[in-house]
Chain A
């Protein structure tokens, strides 16, 4: 097991160094040097430009600059935003819980609908229900979610007036952040109205962000279940007289879940792609919206730092999924 974890880690570290190099090089490719960008349109006096260049190390060879960049990175310093002058790291830390809360709820939503739908579709193969689920899930998979969000706003917020259009919570509530997850913080504060407000703000973004994972999970569950249901041990269990429900829910599902868990792990990157769009549509104050604003304001440290942090997080989650997978499924551990 230790060996398995170490091999995985040995693959992850070069990838991480690669990402730092990629992010470093990409930002260097932007025309104009960072000091000039920081100075903005007002321009800067040449003597001061030279001084600042020296101060930030931009007069050094590129390789040395990359070294500086890495050493700052190791100390958790990702630079400061050009617009707000706040450290990129602390801005990320404040906004990240909002993205996590949205993503976790979206995945739970996708699981709660996708797993049962996939299981029933597999059990009733070729029924109307099966065709319906597969049709809907292919539509969900093809959905431009930025449009889907607008449609839901049009229907539920504008026509029916059931949910708010944007934000995380109504303005009249101030909740002291404890965990950063508003659903939990509002419950801790005991203000039920605030909790309801947070929940109603969450529903639409959650559905929008959960749509693609829902489609993927339903399709994956169905095909994994179909494969498992054809196995001999299932027939044996049925022949022994195990009730049909027990065979499906216990014997078959446990094995069918293995590929499903992997797929959920792989959804992290997809979720983040979706979060960028969902947060932009619903003005959800998370890192996706922050990055888009960073681009529109040409705030390169935010873009650079944010990309690196998100890359690192996706990588760590993938590593964890890999390791858990190896733990539940010894076949994987030994073949690789």
Chain B
């Protein structure tokens, strides 16, 4: 046996004794049935969103004069060609829902990415530089938090003009303070620890300290908040769509679909119930997964 092989077997033995952190995380996460259910739903949604063009039986925007407000297939008058029925101008609801999944996931992920990146940078800067910079950043975040979230988003959209992009930007701004606060609090508690002092003594620059040393150790709460943030982003963007300030028709955004469907509440239950159920299931899945992540990532909260 060569020395390398011996070393390898020692390393393997150590690895056997202590499970890899990722593996430990997975086994904690798996123990929570709600979180796993959430993950499964999200995985299905992602697949549907990626292959929307293949899966959806019709085009989401194609109107058909012959089939206005057809009920779902199991009701009288419905047909299997339009499994979940059609809307007021003859578009297939199922196809619109599937394409809507693509939009909603994109909204959630884009908004949270923008918000997490800018929020983390602002939080790191506030936590590292303290003084006037910190006061300025945190006051601004306090002001943003004081205004009710939807109201602030509405005001921003009113100024920028309605539309999906502006609505996403507005929701990203509304979510920002949460990430700034988490990042700042985590930085302040980390900075005084020995490893940071050690890195500083070893000559690490400020940027290296911020991003290489401290940031990875603040990641857990940020990841949890980001997952929960996706659900808030989807919900808020749908609310803006419902108020006519978000995605504009004919985009198959779920909130916008609901706004279109409002006047048909009395005649066609499916145009109202289905898009809302899609929002509820998606948001619930992200909340379940976020709760599971928090329990698995935060040893203090482990039951």
Contacts and interface: CB of A to CB of B under 8 A. Distances in A.
Interface of A: 11, 14-15, 18-19, 22-23, 26-27, 29-30, 135, 138-139, 141-144, 146-148, 150-151, 153-154, 158, 269-270, 272-273, 276-277, 280, 291-292, 295-296, 303, 307, 310-311, 314-315, 318
Contacts of A154: 265, 269, 272-273
Contacts of A150: 258, 262, 265, 272, 276
Nearest to B154: A295
Contact of B239 (A11, A23, A144): A144
Nearest to B281: A142
B140 interface: yes
B142 A303 contact: no
Interface of B: 34, 139-140, 142-143, 145-151, 154-156, 158-159, 231, 235, 238-239, 242-245, 255, 258, 262, 265-266, 269, 272-273, 275-276, 279-280, 283-284, 287-288, 291
Nearest to B273: A151
Contact of B272 (A138, A151, A269, A272): A151
Nearest to B279: A144
Contacts of A273: 148-151
Given A18-B139, A138-B288, A277-B239, A144 B148 contact: no
25 contacts: A11-B142, A18-B143, A22-B143, A29-B159, A142-B231, A142-B235, A142-B287, A143-B280, A144-B242, A144-B276, A147-B258, A154-B272, A154-B273, A269-B147, A269-B149, A273-B148, A273-B149, A277-B242, A277-B243, A292-B154, A303-B155, A303-B158, A307-B151, A310-B147, A315-B146
Nearest to A271: B148
A12 to B, nearest CB: 9
Given A18-B139, A148-B276, 9 more contacts: A19-B147, A142-B235, A150-B262, A150-B265, A150-B276, A272-B148, A273-B148, A295-B154, A307-B147
A153 B272 CA distance: 11
A310 B238 contact: no
B150 A147 contact: no
A315 to B, nearest CB: 5
Contacts of B139: 14-15, 18
Interface of A is mostly: helix
A291 B245 CA distance: 13
What 3 A-B pairs are tightest by C-beta distance, nearest first?
A: A147-B276, A273-B150, A272-B148
A254 B296 CA distance: 31
B265 A314 contact: no
Contacts of A277: 150, 239, 242-243
A101 B150 CA distance: 20
Contact of B280 (A23, A147, A318): A147
Best-buried of A27, A138, A292 by chain B (most CB within 10 Å) = A138
A82 B8 CA distance: 78
A142 B148 contact: no
A18 B138 CA distance: 12
Best-buried of A147, A280, A311 by chain B (most CB within 10 Å) = A147
A291 B151 CA distance: 9
A281 to B, nearest CB: 8
A318 B146 contact: yes
Contacts of B34: 135, 138
A153 B195 CA distance: 59
A154 B279 CA distance: 18
A29 B160 CA distance: 9
A245 to B, nearest CB: 26
B148 A138 contact: no
B276 A139 contact: no
A239 B17 CA distance: 44
B243 A142 contact: no
A234 B159 CA distance: 55
Contacts of A29: 159
A315 B34 CA distance: 36
B207 to A, nearest CB: 30
Contact of B243 (A138, A272, A280): A280
Contacts of A296: 244
A100 to B, nearest CB: 15
Given A18-B140, A144-B239, A276 B150 contact: yes
Best-buried of B147, B231, B235, B287 by chain A (most CB within 10 Å) = B147
Contact of A269 (B148, B231, B244, B288): B148
B258 A146 contact: yes
Contact of A314 (B146, B155, B272): B146
